[in-house]
Structure 1
């Protein structure tokens, strides 16, 4: 503090003049940069409407970053049009339905450990037990997960992820986000995605025995297969919806609320039905 006081009340020497000019330039540059950042941030945030009906719609949409999200959506649609969509169409044309279904089963089985950990985190031991049994049955009897034997044994698949687990803890979703090339999300679900990456054991595979190659192939095939599964649905939304962005936003938010509520409402006993 003493040095600042000296600078304010003591006239600078001729040798110090260039330093003062540099400081002034840096401060001016910082102020300009800060002003630009504030302007950019304000342009990313949709202003709250004053009309009560419009305000109710604004709150229901939970999309304060709508201007930025719409830009990310438009960018993703354009990139998808010339990348993932043609690949998905070629994949659907070249790969028979039973094979695509088997690949989907494999991807789902490989994700069961993450589902298991999130079921434990949500305090749902019965769901966690089902996920664990599904993984064991499908990895062995289902030939590495390509056949969903567990479903026929009475253990159907259920969804869970870290975003949903946080929701069961009472963590609010935060504003809606549209992540480039990743799709709909939220502040909570974005954090949950990072947690899920840490929970997936396949992200820790060693470099030997072709396991790293398998991990890359598994992730790439999962992305292509998922895009192919929603090929017709997304095409229909783009073709028929008056506002495809708003339609996707609404569908995503409703689905996430329904999944989180289903987890909260699952009060089944901790032992399987056949045990009784």
Structure 2
């Protein structure tokens, strides 16, 4: 049984690392320069951005639109709450690793309250109890520990990132409790639902982006870098910005 568990986790791990490996291989052969010191790989990044945008338009956005049309709003909210509750466990651990003990305990209390009184996290009781969600990941933790962000990079399928955040992604995968869900088929179904639900939450924002941004690439890059810096500053004691970044 242990060997089977390790094998399934390793498969998921390998799948996610495949995108990282693809990006790394492309980077070695596409090291175009840029005048922007924060984005020295702009040529490669724009290519990946265009690829991701095409994938989104062809597959992900239509799936999210169908999901948004067919699935009642209360059910969508429950799905988002459920997976958000799972994500809160890893957020709590990262907040503790960052030395933010009070916030880490608060997030842990969110999990306890929503799991116990919110039907396993389907209902977000904790927010009503004035315990709002604050997401944290290992990339933020590395930033809190003093690791520089490195160059901006757009990963295939995953979207905007930095070298530091990319290094933290495999750790985030292992920290996500859904990775250990059995049987594997239910884990995979849940992973797809999670992605589609998250994309559905961003439908209005992506429409606004398409209508307003003169250069979508520049807009997404700048928004991502500002948001991540805000989160690192928040981990150091400032206020934290909680909005999602659109990821074509």
Give the distance between the partners of 1:100 and 1:45, measured in 2 at CA.
42
Superposed displacement of residue 226, structure 1: 0.8
What stretches of structure 2 of length at least 5 have no aligned partner?
A: 1-26, 240-248
In the alignment, which residue of structure 1 is the partner of 2:209? 237
Q: Which has the higher contact order (CA 8 A, sep 6+)?
A: 2
SS of the residue corresponding to residue 224 of structure 2 reads: helix
1:244-255 to structure 2, matched below 5 A, reads 244-255=216-227
**TM-score, with length taken from structure 1:** 0.73
- Secondary structure in 1 aligned to 2:95? helix
Distance in 1 separating the partners of 2:29 and 2:182: 46
Structure 1: gaps spanning 5 or more residues: 1-39, 49-57, 268-276
Judging changes above 3 Å, is the alpha-carbon distance between structure 1 residues 197 and 43 closer, same or farther for their aligned structure 2 residues? closer
Over 3 Å counting, the alpha-carbon distance change for 1:233 and 1:116 in structure 2 is same
Deviation at 1:41, TM superposition (A): 4.4
- What is residue 77 of structure 1 aligned with on the other side? 53
Counterpart for residue 45 of structure 1: 32
Provide the C-alpha distance between the structure 1 equivalents of 2:221 and 2:235, rounded to a whole number of angstroms: 22
CA contact (8 A) 1:184 1:252 kept: yes
Contact persistence 1:138–1:150 (CA under 8 A): yes
User: After TM superposition, what 4+ stretches of structure 1 lie above 2 angstroms from structure 2?
Assistant: 40-45, 204-207, 212-218
2:68 to 89, 92, 95: 92
Is the Cα contact below 8 Å between 2:34 and 2:43 reproduced in 1? no
How far did 1:239 drift?
A: 3.0
| Residue in 2 that maps onto 1:130 | 106
Query: In structure 1, what is the Cα distance between the partners aligned to 2:57 and 2:181?
Result: 33
